[in-house]
Amino acid sequence: MKLIAGMDVGGTKCAALIAEAGDAPKILDRREFATQGTPSEVIGRFCRTIREQVDALGLKLSEFGGVGISCGGPLDPERGVILSPPNLPGWDEVYIVREVEERLKIPARLKNDADACALAEHRFGAGRGTRNMVFITFGTGCGAGLILDGRLYSGTNGYAGELGHWRMEAAGPEGYNKAGSLEGCCSGGGLARLAVMNNGKFKNKDKFQNSVLYPVCEEGTVTAKDIAAAARAGDAYALWLFKKSGTIFGRALALLIDLLNPELIVAGGVFMRCFDLFIPHVKRQIDREALPAAAARCRIEPSRLGESIGDYGAVCAFD
């Protein structure tokens, strides 16, 4: 039995887990907490939590192969350093692998969360049997993990797949430190920012009057979950937001299809939860923008690993 500890470092929450690795990994214990405090405080909480989990399961850290650490980029996986991710303010040059190894006395490895989730989806989810696939995060941020010719492609220094930084609109919500970026329009936070930015645009038009989103947009408290609930209730403004975000996302996927010619593109997070609301607009743009022969061979699917994708990604980060 190969045991792996996992750390999934997110912009809003973190998860510590213990897993039995293998062809079908088994999560033995999972504990979640908010991403609050300094980087060292968060890392310290991770390590304390893992020790508690190991004790609760009657195990010993000496039995573990190592710790997989999954985190949003940019980062340097070779040196084990987190490099100022836009969704982790203050995490500047954080030598997380060194600190975890010093605290837990077992090997640790760091991977971009999109790369880690791409490996997980390729091995255990929708990507099984594919040679060329892309996994896209669609949560706090937006990034891609690339499986090309059956292997993870990370680029020259680990920056491959940072498509959240693509400027998709001349002006638009800010994400990944760039206005109009893909992350600014196509992520959980981006969808909310899109709602706030366009809040006053349709209020006086007959079709869009009385949206339930207008008050929370004005307060600045609107969430992607609010928008999805309103859209499913037939709210015209919410449906327009999904159309706008889905159209931009579809244009981005068309670029990926033309560039990489993948068999499969999988996305998690908000896209996975709201697949039915996004996919008509996404497919319309792919049909319009991508090379027909390449588009015909590429499937677009939600993550088959569901809400557990981050957990499996953390296991795969120790690869």
Per-residue pLDDT, 1: 64
Phi, psi of 164 (to 5 degrees): -60, -20
d(C-alpha 32, C-alpha 17), whole Å: 9
Give the residue, 274 or 72, on which the prediction is more confident: 274
CA 270 to chain centroid: 9
pLDDT digits (tens, 9 = 90+) for 52-109: 999 999 999 999 999 999 999 889 999 999 999 988 999 999 999 999 999 999 999 9
Pairing outcome for strands 264-267 and 299-302: parallel
- Please name the CATH architecture into which domain 126-303 falls: 2-Layer Sandwich (3.30)
Quick one: CA torsion of 123, 128, 131, 132, rounded to 10 degrees? Answer: -90
Number of other CB atoms surrounding residue 165 within 10 Å: 19
| Assessment of whether the complete model's pTM goes beyond 0.95 | no
What are the domain boundaries of the chain? 2-112+308-317, 126-303
pLDDT band with cut points at 50, 70 and 90 for residue 210? confident
Which string of DSSP letters, residue by residue, matches 223-243? -HHHHHHHHHTT-HHHHHHHH
**Topology alike, domains 2-112+308-317 and 126-303:** yes
Residue 252's identity, in one-letter code, is: A
CATH number of 2-112+308-317: 3.30.420.40
Average pLDDT value over all residues in the chain: 94
Question: What share of the chain in percent tops pLDDT 70?
Answer: 99
pLDDT digits (tens, 9 = 90+) for 239-267: 999 999 999 999 999 999 999 999 999 99
Query: Is pLDDT of 204 > 70?
Result: no
Per-residue pLDDT, 199: 85
Helix (H) or strand (E) holding 157: none
